Amino acid sequence: TVFVLLSLLVCASNRIIASESVPDVDDSNSVSTKNIASSNENHEETEKATEIMDEVIYYTKYHSNYNNGPKNFYLTTRRANICFTKNDYAYVEIFHLKILNPNMYNDIVKMLYETKDLYSFGSNDNKGKVIREYYPNLKMIQRSYQNDNTPFNTYSFSLTTKVEQSENVTIIGKASIDIYDDIVLNDNFINQFGFVIEIKSYHVAITYLKYIDHCRRHQKSLLNLYCRGCEGKKISNIMIKMLKTFED
């Protein structure tokens, strides 16, 4: 069931960000009851989804402030930088990019909200089906795709939320896990990432953050293969792609 999937997603911490709780972000919208039954299971599922995304939004906001913790910089320019950091619970990839067209703010928010992950930015693999709408700004998306290495359909489920912190700042958070024919594989892991998009007088600032939780047993082997230089090059290519998309 979806609730079982959410139970696997939940972090050990029970942190709830009361002041920025996802359902309370936009008071002008009534809470949607679409796809939410009155059963206790669905009520618990909604609470679990909210708890997960509260935490994603919290850490996205926290690490978007460069003063919070030491940073290892891979790239530093006037318009872009890439850095990495580590603390007690996670490794974090961060990039900051300036788009010199403030009129693109809404388009940037829309496109990043629909993006499956950073590396599929601009691809046709972004389209998904909403299978749960807990609130207007908190949904579960299902995607189905197939490639040469997987002769059968591969399903990806993700929780996604969009928080309008102010008229000038939007925070997007996502948490995903891959499953095959409804069977959760042991080597799959949560991919948590987020964007902070802020409109300035002469540009739009995009900050991207991705978290790798090194406390999870099945992620430690992946971290042994982790290469900051490799990731830095990949992120640089994505940033170039974003510049071409949003400024051309």
C-alpha–C-alpha distance, residues 205 and 246, integer Å: 12
Interval 45-62 mean pLDDT = 85
CB 159 within 8 A of CB 175: yes
Interval 9-37 mean pLDDT = 35
What is the DSSP code string of 142-196?
EEEEEETTEEEEEEEEEEEEEEE-SSSEEEEEEEEEEEETTEE-TT---EEEEEE
Report pLDDT for 187: 39
Percent of the chain exceeding pLDDT 70 equals 62
Report residue 232's pLDDT band, with 50, 70 and 90 as the boundaries: confident
Interval 53-78 mean pLDDT = 84
Report pLDDT for 217: 47
Residue 81 scores a pLDDT above 80:
yes
C-alpha–C-alpha distance, residues 116 and 238, integer Å: 14
Torsion sign over Cα 70, 74, 75, 81: negative
Using CA atoms, how far residue 11 sits from 113, 123, 138, 179, in Å, is 23, 30, 18, 18
CB 63 within 8 A of CB 206: no
Please name the amino acid found at residue 189: F
pLDDT digits (tens, 9 = 90+) for 152-207: 666 777 888 999 989 999 999 988 755 444 433 333 445 788 999 999 999 999 99
Most confident segment among 2-16, 112-126, 202-216, 223-237: 202-216
C-alpha–C-alpha distance, residues 173 and 72, integer Å: 23
Residue 35 scores a pLDDT above 50:
no
C-alpha–C-alpha distance, residues 135 and 80, integer Å: 34
C-alpha–C-alpha distance, residues 146 and 157, integer Å: 15
Domain count across the chain = 1
C-alpha–C-alpha distance, residues 109 and 145, integer Å: 24
Q: Which of 222 and 232 is assigned the larger pLDDT?
A: 232
Asked which of 21-35, 86-100, 104-118 is least confident by mean pLDDT, the reply is 21-35
CATH classification at residue 162: 3.30.530.20
Report pLDDT for 120: 67
Closest C-alpha among 65, 63, 175, 61 to residue 116 = 175
C-alpha–C-alpha distance, residues 206 and 170, integer Å: 10
pTM equals 0.74
pLDDT digits (tens, 9 = 90+) for 100-156: 999 999 999 998 888 776 766 656 655 678 888 888 899 888 877 666 665 566 677
Beta bridge partner(s), residue 112: none
Name the residue range of residue 52's domain.
Answer: 2-247
Most confident segment among 17-26, 105-114, 142-151, 216-225: 105-114
In the predicted model, what is the mean pLDDT of the chain? 72
Long-range pairs of 228-231 with CB within 8 A, sequence gap ≥ 24: 228/72, 228/74, 228/84, 229/74, 231/84, 231/93
CB 211 within 8 A of CB 90: yes
Report pLDDT for 150: 58
